[in-house]
Structures are given as structure tokens and as C-alpha cells.
Structure 1
Amino acid sequence: MKRLGIVCGVKAEEAALGTLVDDPALRTAVSGASPAKAEDLARELVEVHGCTALLSFGVSGALSDALVPGDIAVARAVVMRDGKRIEASPQFAPLLAQCAARAGLTLKHVDMADAADVVADVAAKRALGRRTGTHAVDMESGAVAHVARELGVPFTALRAVSDAVHHTLPHAALGAIGPGGDIRVMTTVLRLMLRPQDLPAMMRLAAGSSKGFKSLGRCARDLVPGLLGVV
């Protein structure tokens, strides 16, 4: 039986899959925005749970003006922190394209960057994009790509953009993700109380995240089912 292993960074991304999480043709894991844990979980999905393909699924940040919040990005490749490029497996693209056409969705096929930590400010985002030639960044896709290459299973990344390249992530939002993938709401509120100047940036982040998670929900409803039992 073909089984898709899905690695998410936070529980909200896993929750976007809805009732799909109960489908025997897939298995999910949440890394808590830890690349090291994402790597361990991806390996476990294949070696312990018998997954025959891997998908990095969640939201991402834009590294160029080519992507805006709400866009749906599909990996052509992941550029690792050491500069090495890992190509996404080609069998995913036509399947996703067929599903997107039926649902009226537009997919952006881009190179994605691997990151060890949150890339928060505009200068750092643009510099990473220029250096790597990538347009999106997250903290799970690199781990998934590495494990997939090591174990010889197909992979891709399907990410909805939640923050634009010209938006700096506010200090109040940093460190908001717990090790289990929960959002530390009280920590964020307390940080915002100490730095009320972060409020406009938090409001922009909330608006972008809302667009990103709306698109992620569309991915779960209209795209992911087309991969089940096939890869």
C-alpha cells in the first residue's frame, strides 16, 4: 500500500488537513518548527510507518516579490544550507497540476530555501533569496528533502505563503511555537505588551497568516487527496 508521509511544522498546519489525517493512505508528523526533529520524524515516517513518499506541508515565507500571501508554492527543488540543491521528485507536479486545474487553483513552481531558524527581517529574506536563487523559505522542507534522498523515496513541498518578503516578522511573534507545535499564545501576548510598537507588524502578520492558512486549507481539500494512493 502506498502511504504519504506529511511533515508539518506546527499543529495548525496539520489541522488544516482536516479529516484527511484519518485516512490510512497518509501519516502526519509535527516537528515544532525544529529542523532536527523534522528530519527525525521524516525518517520515522518511512522506516517505522511504511510511508512510500514524503510531503513537506504548511506555510512559508516569501523571499522575493514573486510570491505574496495566499500564493500556493510547489517545490521545484530545495536549496540546502550548504548550497546543495535537491530536486523535488517529478511525479508530484503533474498530479498536483491536474488537481489544481479542476479546482481553479494557481500553483507557483519555485525553488525553496532550507532554513535552520526563522528568517525575520526584510534584508535577511532578500539576501537569502538572492544568494540561493529561491523564492520561499521554511524549516521543514530541507529536512524532508534530505531524508527522502537518503532513503530513496519521492518527495515534494507544498507550501502556502503567509508573509511577504517586504514584511519584517515582529519580535513578539518570535519563539511563539512550542516544541510540540502549539502556538504559545500567552507568550506572544506578553511580548506584545512589552513591545506595543510591534502591534502594526503583528496585525500584518495575522492578515498574511489568514490568507496563507486559507490557501493551505484549499491545498488540503483540493490537492493532497490527489496524491493519496498514487505516490
Structure 2
Amino acid sequence: MMKLTNHTSPAAMAFKQGFVATLPMQLGVAPFAIIFGTLAAPSGLPPWAALAMSVLVYAGSAQFLALTLLAASATWPVIVLTTLVVNLRHALYSATLQGPLANVPFWRRAALAYFLTDETFAAVQSGLNQKVTRIDAFMLGSGLCNCSCWVVFTAVGILLGQAVPQLQHWGLEFAMVATFTGIVVSMLLTRAQLIAAIAAGLTALLAAALPYKLGLMLAVVAGVAAGMAAARFEPISKTQTA
């Protein structure tokens, strides 16, 4: 009698690994999405438009900023330009992943770009450190996990916002801060990365009062510059101490 065996393809295994690796981060994503859903109506955004924004824009910080600008009656060009500035960090993510995804067909890379968020980038970096062979499937699994959670809990927030007054003031955003702290700390493996994180953090604090979240971009530039400088001198110091 023939014995049947289950064969899991490398792509399916990588997809599952990416999905599972991103699950813990949803402890921070879910409360953040709920808050966005509750703030939509007070900002003048209809429920269907809030849900559509989470599907089409799919960028947490940019969506919150857009709500703030909508409530302040800002014009559409100002909203688009400001959210573009906030999301410029994704260009750095893309540049980092250009090498690992170089052999992936263009149409697949274009589709994966939709899922490129902070959480998925962190998960993919972890997958690369673990030598995952099908990193594109890994990224897809991570992205679907994060995206589905964001959209579903945006809908939950919209419903709760209508039933539970002042839910946005319950301090749920702390979960997102804790999650991002965990993401960043786990990725600080070298001295250059640690210096980059310190420089970016200090710059973000000092420039927090700048309008349109420009402090965020300054923090990115400062972190990249500090990290590159530290990485350049790191081999010299190792040679001298050898």
C-alpha cells in the first residue's frame, strides 16, 4: 500500500514563518487601529472612508496625521504633502530590501511594496538574519498578518467609537509604543546600530515641536548619518584592538 507524505513547499513554509513572526507585534497594532477607528468620526471622516483609508493608505502614523489635518480643515495638497514626508522612511526600507529581493520579479516586488510597514520590515530583517530562502513569501505572510489586523481592528474601533464614548482617551496607544520599543531594541545588534538609534531618538526629542512631523525626517537623517559614520570607523577600531 502506498504511503502518502505531506510535502510543504519552501514558499509555504516561509509564508507561515512570516505570518507567525509578525503575530506578537499585533498586540501593539490592534489598539492603535482601534484608536484610529474611534477618532475617525470626531475628525469628520465617515465610517466607510475610515475603513477605506486603512485598506488603501495602510499607514498608521500617516492616517492619524491625516485625521488631524482634516479636523483642522487643511487643504488636500497640504494633507498629501505632509503624509508623504512622514512616510519617506519607507524609501529607506525599500533601499535596504533591494538586495534581498533583487531576484524577485518586478510585479511581485510591486505587490509586496504595499505591505512594507515598520512591523513587516522588522520581521523581514529577522527573517534575513535567520537565512530564510524565500524571503518574498516570508514578507507576504508578514504583510497579510499585519494588514488584516490593522483593517479588522479599524472596523472594531469604528463600532466601539459609536458605542463607547471617549475610548481614545483610555491610553491604548501605550501598547504601540511598547511594541515599537521591542522591535527597535531587538534589532540593535551592532555598535553602529546602537549609535544610530541614540542619534535618531535624541533628534526626534529635540525636534518634536517642528510642524508637519519634520522632526521625524530629521531624526531619520541624523540616525542614518550617525550609523554610517560609526560603521565606517568600526573596522579600524577592531583592527587596532586586535
Does TM, normalized by the shorter one, top 0.5?
no
TM-score of the two chains, using structure 2 as the length reference: 0.28
Hey, which of these two has a bigger chunk of helix by percent? Answer: 2
Q: Which has the larger radius of gyration?
A: 2
Q: TM-score, normalised by structure 1?
A: 0.28
